[in-house]
Amino acid sequence: MTGRLLAVNVGVVTEASWAGDASGRSGIDKRPADTAVAILATGVAGDFIAERAHHGGPDQAVYAYAEADAAWWADELDRPLPPGAFGENLTTAGVDVTGAVIGEQWAIGTALLQVTKPRTPCRTFAGFWGVPDLIKRFTARAAPGAYLRVLTPGEVRAGDEIRVVQRPAHGVTIGETFRALSTEPELLPRLLAAAELPEPIRQKVARRVAGTGS
């Protein structure tokens, strides 16, 4: 399966009352880069991350969102949503991001990335868009985009091909994982089949399935 990278987006510093960081700053406002961008083991070079307790780190080094899903929201809200509007580093076309399997690998440019987990909407996202009920609506839509870890650092640029070069047989998808963790807890046991799921999520799921925690 192949797709295309429409844009590589890098976060700028935004100071706002809705910003999640204690300093009142956020990196959710991401802008398309005009040149090739380095993908490091820690994420996109030059990308500003304010609230590192909930953003960044090896299991969510890069965030991807699909053009088709962005178009749905643009119609829903009757407003333009250009690349980077979701706080995504990679705006994609031709790749089913919601249907991506946990652990599948994407070759883009000279980098190799691995799908790890869905994005969880937060009040910073709602504040950035100025849509107070966005968390509820984003959860109901269940097209959350995908976080990726960096297996091989490299360079990527707009127009690069996205090749899905490996896909685990367990078949647990980003969409299924998001729904299990939010609105369909009956799906939780299925997530334990995905060995590539970040360990904190696996532990959380195991506790919920065992009835020993939230």
The predicted pLDDT at position 60 comes to 94
**Could you tell me the pLDDT band of residue 51, with boundaries at 50, 70 and 90?**
low
Q: Which residue has the tokens 């009142």?
A: 24
Domain ranges of the chain: 2-170
The predicted pLDDT at position 24 comes to 78
Relative to beta strand 14-15, strand 90-93 is unpaired
Q: Is the pLDDT of residue 22 over 80?
A: no
Quote the CA–CA distance of 101 and 14 in Å, as a whole number. Answer: 33
Residues 2-170, CATH architecture: Beta Barrel (2.40)
Asked if 65 and 92 touch (Cβ cutoff 8 Å), the reply is: yes
pLDDT tens by residue, 76-100: 999 999 999 999 999 999 999 999 9
pLDDT tens by residue, 3-17: 999 999 998 887 877
**Could you tell me the pLDDT band of residue 53, with boundaries at 50, 70 and 90?**
low
- HSE-up of residue 17 (Cα within 13 Å, Cβ side): 1
pLDDT tens by residue, 169-214: 999 999 999 999 999 999 999 999 999 999 999 999 999 999 876 6
**Could you tell me the pLDDT band of residue 49, with boundaries at 50, 70 and 90?**
confident
Asked if 27 and 14 touch (Cβ cutoff 8 Å), the reply is: yes
Residues of the chain with pLDDT > 70: what percent? 94
Q: Which is more confidently placed, 54 or 66? A: 66
Residue 29: which residues within 8 A CB-CB, separation 6 or more? 11, 12, 14, 84, 87, 128
Asked if 174 and 102 touch (Cβ cutoff 8 Å), the reply is: yes
Q: Is the pLDDT of residue 23 over 70?
A: no
The predicted pLDDT at position 12 comes to 84
The predicted pLDDT at position 48 comes to 81
The predicted pLDDT at position 13 comes to 83
pLDDT tens by residue, 111-124: 999 999 999 998 88
Q: Is the pLDDT of residue 54 over 90?
A: no
